[in-house]
Amino acid sequence: MTNFAIYKKTFRFTLMRILTGLIGLALIIGLPAIVFAVTGKLEDTARIAACLGGFIVGCIAAGLISHFISYIFRAGQIAVAAKAAAGQDLPEDCYSEGKSIVKQRFGTVAVFFAIEKIINAIVSQLTSGVSKLTDKISSDSDSDAVKTIGAVINIVISAMLKFMCACCMGWVFINPDVNAWRCACDGAILYFKNWKDLLKNTGRILLIGLLSLVIIGGALFGVCHLTLNKAQFMTEMTTELSQFIQEVKLEEATQEASTDGTVDEDEQKALDAISSLTPQEWAMIFEGLIALILWGILNSSLIDPFVMIGVMQRYIKAGLANPPKRELDEKLSGLSKSYKKAIESSNA
């Protein structure tokens, strides 16, 4: 199957991930807005503190939704994509199939997260050597070009890590008769053996990410600006925030004058910069943050799965053509403590 055909068959998972992301965003935005509306009689300091509390609660709630609900959609999509990459036929209802595979393979949420956590740790530790080397070369060199190259290499590695972790998890799904911990180690072996070939996709991955940020992110910022710029609650909130910061700055200046103390230059510059922002500029900052969160939801749910499917096709096919050699266990255990832990868990 082609990448797009697999993506199309698993698109319901994408829609569900977007939906859960939007619910989380509604909590992040909605709770502070509701708190702001019902605390109109409080003093500015108490009102802003209450809004901040609402924002924190919204973030926690959104995080819990993402962690305990969205995971099943991401895992289900990985499971079905891995099955297709392995050349297996997909049923008409890939959504139910994906959820069923996840439940059968792991049984509980705790087991899934434990395996996912160990895979992330192994891949990060196996890659850390390259990152440390580029960091050392960059720090030891006075050349801006060398430092730029080092920074680009680290960006490339970071861009690939999440896809490599998904590929390793995919290998766990297509080997249901093998211990999950052992499969996680086998997936890491495949990554270790084929990382150079898999990195060939990184230029395209970075280009897709950049285009996504510019096109989708830019469009979302425009929508947020048009929607929120004239909203009464945004105008009131940013006006009161600006006034509150001005009062804080005046209070700091009065306190310094009375104590004749010295002022940290960096702190003073930061305070001056923040206090110089107008309500309109604060509104644009909030609009930008909301647009960035929305872009993150859409990019991770809509764009990343398509990229992941392309990377997984190469990864799974390479693994089936040249299965992992378990004599690498000792070497990889020396390179990754998490790998050693997974081996021990597989033998338990």
Question: pLDDT tens digits, residue range 58-109?
Answer: 989 988 887 778 888 989 999 999 999 999 988 889 999 998 998 888 877 7
CB under 8 A, 24+ apart: contacts of 298-301 = 298/18, 298/21, 298/216, 298/220, 299/209, 299/212, 299/213, 299/216, 300/17, 300/21, 301/14, 301/17, 301/18, 301/21
Question: Which H or E run includes 66?
Answer: none
Look at residues 176, 162, 192 and name the one whose alpha carbon lies nearest to residue 299: 162
Instruction: Evaluate if residue 267 carries a pLDDT over 70.
Output: no
Give the mean pLDDT of 262-287: 76
* pLDDT band at residue 258 under the 50/70/90 scheme: low
Percent with pLDDT over 70 in the chain: 83
pLDDT digits (tens, 9 = 90+) for 27-63: 988 888 888 888 877 777 788 788 889 889 998 998 8
pLDDT digits (tens, 9 = 90+) for 178-223: 899 999 999 999 988 887 777 776 677 778 888 998 999 999 999 9
* pLDDT band at residue 242 under the 50/70/90 scheme: confident
pLDDT digits (tens, 9 = 90+) for 139-192: 655 666 656 665 666 666 777 778 888 999 999 999 988 899 999 999 999 988
The model's pTM: 0.77
Average pLDDT value over all residues in the chain: 82
pLDDT at 218: 92
pLDDT at 71: 80
What is d(CA 20, CA 8) in angstroms, rounded to the nearest whole number?
A: 19
pLDDT at 13: 93
In order of 128, 195, 280, the CA distances from 227 in angstroms are 43, 45, 14
Q: What are the tokens at 235?
A: 């105008």
Name the amino acid, one letter, at 55. F
pLDDT at 77: 93
Average the pLDDT over each of 165-174, 198-207, 235-244, 339-348 and give the range with the smallest value: 198-207
Residues 6+ apart with CB under 8 A from 329: 185, 339, 343
What is d(CA 99, CA 74) in angstroms, rounded to the nearest whole number?
A: 10
Give the mean pLDDT of 5-12: 93
